[in-house]
Amino acid sequence: MSTLLFTHPVEIEHDPGPGHPERSDRLRAVLRALDDPAFKRLERREAPEAPRAQIERVHAPRYVDFVLKNVPKSGYVAIDADTVMSPASGEAALRAAGALTGAVDAVVAGAAKTAFCAVRPPGHHAEPARGMGFCFFNNIAIAARHARDVAGLKRVGIVDFDVHHGNGTQAAFWEDPTVFFASSHQYPLYPGTGAADERGAGNIVNVPLPPGSGSAAFRQGMERDILPALDSFRPELVLISAGFDAHAQDPLANMELTEADFGWVTARLREVADRHAAGRMVSTLEGGYDLKALAGSAAAHVTELMAG
């Protein structure tokens, strides 16, 4: 079965301002890498705009209004120090969330086994009533609630290997045992959450890794803490917050991962998905700020999504 690639040109147009690390070139680099003949089996789909009802499964209506009303007609509007909107940002944020829910629908319907959403703005720092850390709507959290409420799945697993803790996703599911959330991340680092004793309703696993951690520590955290817990949860769908900023070349963090580590973790997650979820996986782009490392790491990740 095939792998879908959800994206849209407006995802490139979202512009948080000059000199911002979460820049349009990131998505250009990822899409250029996926234009390689090795990815010709990827089935491309246009990301639809998520209707408000989908977004409001995670976010307070007042917060959704706040974001959409603040989209500027020209120039920039900042909703926090580093979370900034340009005229294209409202549509980009709606289509980023819609990519995820569209991918969930397609994978649950059996149109494909796996999907990758090449979208921005990213989502995992966005809390139910607060955007932050370059994120407006929590795309992966919206996907999980959509999978439960619309597709009728009973257990959804989310694994976040972005180098920053997915505080927004954790906040969304803190008291929701129908969703399992696991994150490996550099600690301490922005946003400051993600200690090992943050367990929610027993459905949350955090693997904080000290700065300078490399492949061995990352793989050990996955094998010892995250993969067994995900396996016991028996997810009917595996969602991935795929940030590639734990790469050694990334300028925003100090981990030492390589492209191969992102391929490795994707293959391990695929094994769990094969056991419990008929192989179903939906992944979305989160961080990754060195263009070459980002492109190579995303390619390694999507290669393993396609290998199922």
- Residues in contact with Zn ion by CB under 5 A are 162, 164, 243, 245, 287
Q: Which helix (H) or strand (E) holds 228?
A: helix 227-233
φ, ψ of residue 185 in degrees (nearest 5)? -160, 160
Return the number of the residue (102 or 296) whose C-beta is nearest Zn ion.
Answer: 296
Minimum Å gap between C-beta 198 and Zn ion is 18
Catalytic residue, from 8, 59, 124, 125: name it.
125
Partnered with residue 281 across adjacent β-strands are 114, 238
Active-site annotation holds for 14: no
Return the number of the residue (103 or 255) whose C-beta is nearest Zn ion.
Answer: 255
Where are the strands (E) in 66-178, listed by range? 77-80, 83-85, 114-117, 156-160
On whether the CB atoms of residues 207 and 163 are closer than 8 A, the answer is no
CA angle, 298 then 303 then 306, to 5°: 125
Return the number of the residue (194 or 287) whose C-beta is nearest Zn ion.
Answer: 287
On whether the CB atoms of residues 35 and 129 are closer than 8 A, the answer is no
Partnered with residue 283 across adjacent β-strands are 116, 240
Cβ neighbours, 10 Å, residue 65: 12
Return the number of the residue (64 or 246) whose C-beta is nearest Zn ion.
Answer: 246
Minimum Å gap between C-beta 135 and Zn ion is 10
Token pair, residue 4, equals 């879908």
φ, ψ of residue 150 in degrees (nearest 5)? -105, -45
Q: Give the residue from 179, 152, 165 showing the smallest Cα distance to 238.
A: 179
Minimum Å gap between C-beta 106 and Zn ion is 26
Minimum Å gap between C-beta 162 and Zn ion is 4
Return the number of the residue (63 or 134) whose C-beta is nearest Zn ion.
Answer: 134
Spatial distance between the Cα atoms of 182 and 196, rounded to a whole number of angstroms: 10
Distance of CA 91 to the CA centre of its chain: 18
Partnered with residue 271 across adjacent β-strands are none
Spatial distance between the Cα atoms of 35 and 171, rounded to a whole number of angstroms: 36
Return the number of the residue (263 or 287) whose C-beta is nearest Zn ion.
Answer: 287
Minimum Å gap between C-beta 145 and Zn ion is 22
Minimum Å gap between C-beta 289 and Zn ion is 8
On whether the CB atoms of residues 182 and 226 are closer than 8 A, the answer is yes
Using CB positions, name the residue nearest to Zn ion.
287
Active-site residue list: 125
